[in-house]
Structure 1
């Protein structure tokens, strides 16, 4: 790896993002589970459900604090490490982040305080509403962040303005209702629900194996397994939808995930396993499943999925087209007013402006894209190919864990319904062993989504190489070392606090026993 500014800036952002994403899924899922558990408490008046809400709420609080702190650091990095990115697309990207802070994060943070300190100060219904506000705030926060991220994956509702030299919004509702962003949101929050369900399931299973807190553990397993099964199935279904959208808007990412070097006749087969070789541009020891990739990627038996080699050729054509747009843009910059721009330059930019981002790929090799050689153009075209082995295996790890989660949740739903969960020690041990799996899947999914769109910071619009700030290598090395040290300390603190709370277990709690439901319904619980 070359220690250049762009690579180090990417490394720093990747380290902080991967660390931050350790906390996000659990926060999303636990907030919903807390609302479910407290709803049962309010409806039945049974103190065990209040005790459950408080116990899992303690673990939620520890996780929430670390997630909020690391998320704020990430937002500052856009200005520190990616200043040209912030200048170029700040009008679009900044709006969802600002709304997230004002509408979602403040809502969530305010009601978190009421959740922890309002048990004996609010009515039962009032406290329940504050818990729902925490859950809504957490998920709203994810919504606006993923609207911003979804626009990076599929930029819609905005266009480049040659007068200001920036991307500007022309349809904010198109940005908000971007179907890529909405699919990513539901897929991401569903994965968070699975993470929290496995977390609750694993800890509850550990309590049963130790013979501790039996009532709380059994009820927690019932809630987590039911909620987790629905969430795990939705993750699989929405992941399939994400693959279909990638075939429309991120063809290179899809081809790299599949390791599809050559365009296959429709319907394309799915490569179950293999060893992608970037140098020879082939897959060794590949095992294929006929038709599956065609059905996933196109929803048809007749439509082709372009391979990497074909997409590289198309990228080369778009780079050449982008150079024409870049050349025309220089006339815009030189002219004292829009009326003074030569008509032929206006026409050229209108015809080739959509490809200007591809010309900017050449800034890795030459200051002025118009001076690029044929070899540099070909090299820039190959830069549009992300590292295929990384994407290939990250995707398969994510999908494999996804199906394991479905099977695990289904098994616990069955044994919970039969009332035999405590008599299945092998299944309880499997739940404890599976605790780490959702985080591995989440990090693998992040790699597929974000590493997979390289070399673009904004797909097809702004290359990562052109988005970085003017920093120095020593500065970046220092900050990377600082973040690594700080986050290592924080993760140790997080784990010690979580483990201490789990070992201590739920504390006796004798809340008010006045159910809102008629007595016959409360007794049935």
Structure 2
């Protein structure tokens, strides 16, 4: 396999995944915000809340369509660009994706039409239940996809079968309740809620700055402030849980995002700022907060956090053990009844994936030199500078979001938000930040897993299909053109809908727009919208 082909396949998947993930968080968050808004409408029967729900529902619909379209493309890539990955772990990886399609996708796809077109055909409570089922479906989709991704990060509940040369499920409940998958799900979903809350907050702020549709904007901002504050706090708490999950399952990722080259005595400090130096294997200009990393990652004051170089030494030992596992597999191919080979495989099978790392340097790992083994052990180090800075970007924005929503909640509670223009401008400027943090978090999770497609089981370079560079470049260019066009359409539709405002929806009956009079001009002063 030409490594440049592998890198191109990785680039293609990364580009499509990053693009797809622009839509997913907004879908996750807006769906449940619609449930909150419509619940208020059902409880109060005030038509203004119906208008609020319908308006944000229109924006949700535009975003939802592109999210679905880009997600389907990603799933096809497992068969086109990552065929050996699909063959090797398809028994485990395919199950959550199939369940996602059968359970979650069909649930949301079935009810999303009723949500948009059933306003005048369903009762208030009936339509609310439909909206809730759409929200449930979108979040269940995320659950099953993250169970699949979590298994790639922590492959539990499965083992390698030398007879079929594939990974096979032996405990599906372990796959389902994988601690990495559960931590990723709650953290990712909470980040999506923050993204949607900032989106609603920012659009509402634009309306308030322009003095347009104030009645709708004030109510939308009130929901966004409360929902966003709860979500931003939960992101930090659940992010802490994700850090704890890394301690036992992905020690190298934890060490790399801290640029911790050597094991630090307990309790380890958290680096606020530094410049990782790959040549000297040291972090320059380092500023640390004592104890924090130890508390986050080990929940103790007496357990150290293992450093990168110590983990490399451990990887070297596992590679040597993996050579013995590979040797046993080759012998079992010739004679399945070889008792000695079976015993050798059982003793070393957990390290077979580490033996596969040598295939980047030699076709038969059993013939690897000591120098090649050392080089393969160094391959387990991910891109430390990228890991270090993406984590700090993500964490820094997370703290900023808590501060933003705390101010928003206070000002909304005091009914001063609409008059505080510096705050409204800040809300508009903050709109891109959740997406930056979310994309940084995705990069942190996936780059931190390298060189593995499945942690400790299958190296990334082994999972790719045998494609030519020209074939991959054609699809990259094609996806770029297609997705670029879709992005322009998405943005134009969003801007057009926002400019028309909350009284421009055409799907079903809406209550009348306020009269164009000095006291009822759509600015929330008077009229039926109140």
| Fold match (TM-score > 0.5) | yes
SS in 1 for 2:448: helix
Offset at residue 420 of structure 1 (A): 0.8
| Structure 1 Cα separation of the partners of residues 271 and 389 of structure 2 | 11
| Structure 2 Cα separation of the partners of residues 52 and 112 of structure 1 | 18
Map residues 118-517 of structure 1 onto 2, 5 A cutoff. 118-335=118-335, 338=336, 340-341=337-338, 343-507=339-503, 510-511=510-511
**Which residue is equivalent to 1:33?**
33
Instruction: State the aligned residue count.
Output: 508
SS in 1 for 2:317: helix
Offset at residue 162 of structure 1 (A): 1.2
Q: Deviations over 1:353-372 (max 9, x none)?
A: 10000011111111111121
| Structure 2 Cα separation of the partners of residues 77 and 365 of structure 1 | 27
**Which residue is equivalent to 1:76?**
76
Offset at residue 487 of structure 1 (A): 1.1
| Structure 1 Cα separation of the partners of residues 418 and 37 of structure 2 | 21
Q: Deviations over 1:240-271 (max 9, x none)?
A: 11111101100000000000001111111111
Offset at residue 304 of structure 1 (A): 0.9
Whether contact under 8 Å (1:363, 1:465) holds in the other structure is no
| Structure 2 Cα separation of the partners of residues 14 and 278 of structure 1 | 24
| Structure 2 Cα separation of the partners of residues 3 and 69 of structure 1 | 30
SS in 2 for 1:366: coil
**Which residue is equivalent to 2:518?**
none
| Structure 1 Cα separation of the partners of residues 464 and 119 of structure 2 | 48
Between 123-132 and 222-231, the greater mean CA deviation after superposition: 123-132
TM-score (norm 2): 0.94
| Structure 2 Cα separation of the partners of residues 481 and 207 of structure 1 | 38
Which ranges in structure 2 are unaligned for 5 or more consecutive residues?
513-529
| Structure 2 Cα separation of the partners of residues 381 and 510 of structure 1 | 64
| Structure 2 Cα separation of the partners of residues 149 and 197 of structure 1 | 26
**Which residue is equivalent to 1:100?**
100
| Structure 2 Cα separation of the partners of residues 511 and 324 of structure 1 | 74
| Structure 2 Cα separation of the partners of residues 39 and 102 of structure 1 | 28
SS in 2 for 1:84: helix
SS in 2 for 1:275: strand
Offset at residue 303 of structure 1 (A): 0.6
SS in 1 for 2:185: helix
SS in 2 for 1:457: strand
Tell me if 1:88 matches 2:84.
no
SS in 2 for 1:160: strand
| Structure 2 Cα separation of the partners of residues 290 and 429 of structure 1 | 36
Whether contact under 8 Å (2:186, 2:238) holds in the other structure is yes
Offset at residue 279 of structure 1 (A): 2.2
| Structure 1 Cα separation of the partners of residues 157 and 349 of structure 2 | 16
Q: Deviations over 1:49-74 (max 9, x none)?
A: 11011100111011001100000000
Give the alignment's Cα RMSD to 1 decimal: 1.2
